[in-house]
Structures are given as C-alpha cells and as structure tokens.
Amino acid sequence: MTRQLIGIRPDHEFESVIERMRPLVGEGTQRRVYLVDGLDDVVIKESKGPFHHSNFVEWTVWHALERMREEISENEANPDLIDLFAPCIAISHSAKFLLMKRFDGPIQANEIPAKGIPFWFNDKKPSAFGKTKDGAIKIIDYGAVNFYNALNPRNRTFL
C-alpha cells in the first residue's frame, strides 16, 4: 500500500499508514512527524493547523529543484543544490500530509554547512537538518522559505 503513495494522493491513504501507536519521530510548532507502517526509509509529516503551508512549500520547493536539475543542470550555479534537500515523495490532496525520505537527525550545530545553503532558506537550526548513513547533511525541514528573497530580481545574476 505505502509504495503506491507517490505524487498527489487522497488524505485517507496517508492516515491509513501512519504508525500512531509508536512515538513521534519529531514535532515542531507546525507539524508532527510519524513513522510509516512497514517502512523505515520514509516519514509522514502531518500539519497541525488548518492551513498546511509548510507541507505545500516543501512539495513546491522539491519539485522546482527537480525541474531545475532536469532543465538547466549544466548551467546552474549550484548543480548540487537538489542534493542538499530531503526528497518529497507524495503529498495529500489537502496538503495536510507529506511523505518524505527519512534521514537521521537532528545534527549538531557545528555540522550545519557553512556554505551552499540557499539564501532564501530561513530555518537554519540543527533540527532542520538530518544526515545520511554516509554522513552527508540534508535539509529535512524546508517549509520556511523567504519568498521575498527568493523572488526578488535584485537577488539574481542575469547573463
């Protein structure tokens, strides 16, 4: 069942695979993070509020990064940008639920990369980062984006 959670899916499909009887993987002000029944390589982020902004932003950012990689990877100033972010796999129709690849975290403050993090990414606390089994640092919580900085043409270099 869980392997079919790809793309945009009905909310009830996420509800049916959340392991609510086990402790939360994490919890922030906006969301709770759950394990997924039968899988240890993904988590489901459940939005707490009526407006599911953080899940929607992460889904949107992830897919923008994927598209950039496909279209302009050889011309992109930072071709490794997509490698910094935890992949989003599925989102519910309402955006209340987001299925994301799981990484170990949080990291220590001194492990946060000094370079390479996009200027528009606002949440630079250790709990926003995770680590692969090989020790690579990943951004696992990127729902806080400064859209003014990201979209402001003054922050762009034009050819």
pLDDT tens per residue across span 57-68:
999 999 988 887
What's the pLDDT score for residue 159? Answer: 40
Residue 116 zone, left/alpha/beta (φ > 0; ψ -120 to 50; rest): left
Give residue 110's Cα distance to chain centre. 21
CA atoms within 13 A on the CB side of 59: 22
What's the pLDDT score for residue 39? Answer: 92
Q: Which residues, other chains included, contact 7 with Cβ-Cβ below 8 Å and sequence gap of 6+?
A: 90, 91
Span of 78-82, 88-92, 107-111 with lowest mean pLDDT: 78-82
| pLDDT band at residue 158 using 50, 70 and 90 as cut-offs | very low
Reading the block at residue 56, the tokens are 């929607």
pTM metric for this prediction: 0.88
> Which residues on neighbouring strands pair with residue 131, listed in sequence order?
104, 137
Torsion of CA 10, 15, 16, 22, to 10 degrees: 160
Look at residue 73 and tell me whether its pLDDT is greater than 60: no
Span of 14-18, 26-30, 114-118 with lowest mean pLDDT: 114-118
Average pLDDT over the chain, rounded to an integer: 87
Span of 9-13, 62-66, 86-90, 126-130 with lowest mean pLDDT: 62-66
Look at residue 156 and tell me whether its pLDDT is greater than 70: no
